[in-house]
Amino acid sequence: MNGVKRAFYVLIFFGFVSSSWAANIELISGHVRAMPSSVPNTAAYFKVVNHGKAVKLVSVDTPVAKEAQLHTLLDDNGVIKMRQVKNFALGAHSTLTLKPSGDHIMILGLKKPLAVGSRVALTLNFSDGSSNTITLPVQKVSRTSEKQEHSDHSHHHH
């Protein structure tokens, strides 16, 4: 019986250790942009707080599309260009904000159109080998927000 108790406590300990990292990343807000059904790509924007050590967001997975990529917008002599990047730094005890006018997640090759009000799971993969799944609502973007985006995300630049 003593061995069974020890195994039980070891399992509980490792359960807390493996799940404790996920508690360090907290989703504050976010959404996936609703697009017309003819557009195969969209974007995700969100704000997360890191309550733990510094890490880098290195990739994102989602079941709703062929791939998701980390993107940024750059000003190249007055022309706004979208570029894929390798990672987004998330410092210790800091906030990462992905927004239409800057860093964001491109969701490419949607398997089917996303309905307004539905929810999209995104698994965030970090440089330390950990991951955290967040779920974001699909929302329409207001005309004011659209003007601020500089891009309709219906095309893909590299």
Instruction: Transcribe the chain into DSSP letters.
Output: -HHHHHHHHHHHHHHHHHHHTGGGEEEEEEEEE---TT---EEEEEEEEE-SS-EEEEEEE-TTEEEEEEEEEEEETTEEEEEE-S-EEE-TTEEEEE-TTS-EEEEEEESSPPPTT-EEEEEEEETTS-EEEEEEEEE---HHHHHHHS--SSS---
**73: alpha, beta or left, given left = phi > 0 and alpha = psi -120 to 50?**
beta
Report which of residues 157 and 133 the model is more confident about. 133
Q: Answer yes or no: is pLDDT of 95 > 80.
A: yes
Q: Which two tokens mark 148? A: 């601020």
122 DSSP β-pair partners: 134
Write down the mean pLDDT value for the chain. Answer: 82
Supply the pLDDT for residue 65: 97
The amino acid sitting at 13 is F
Residue 87 phi, psi dihedral angles, 5° rounding: -165, 165
Residue 24's pLDDT band, with cuts at 50, 70 and 90, is confident
The region of weakest confidence among 22-31, 69-78, 117-126 is: 22-31
Residue 141's pLDDT band, with cuts at 50, 70 and 90, is confident
Encode 82-99 in three state secondary structure. Answer: EEECCCEEECCCEEEEEC
Supply the pLDDT for residue 116: 96
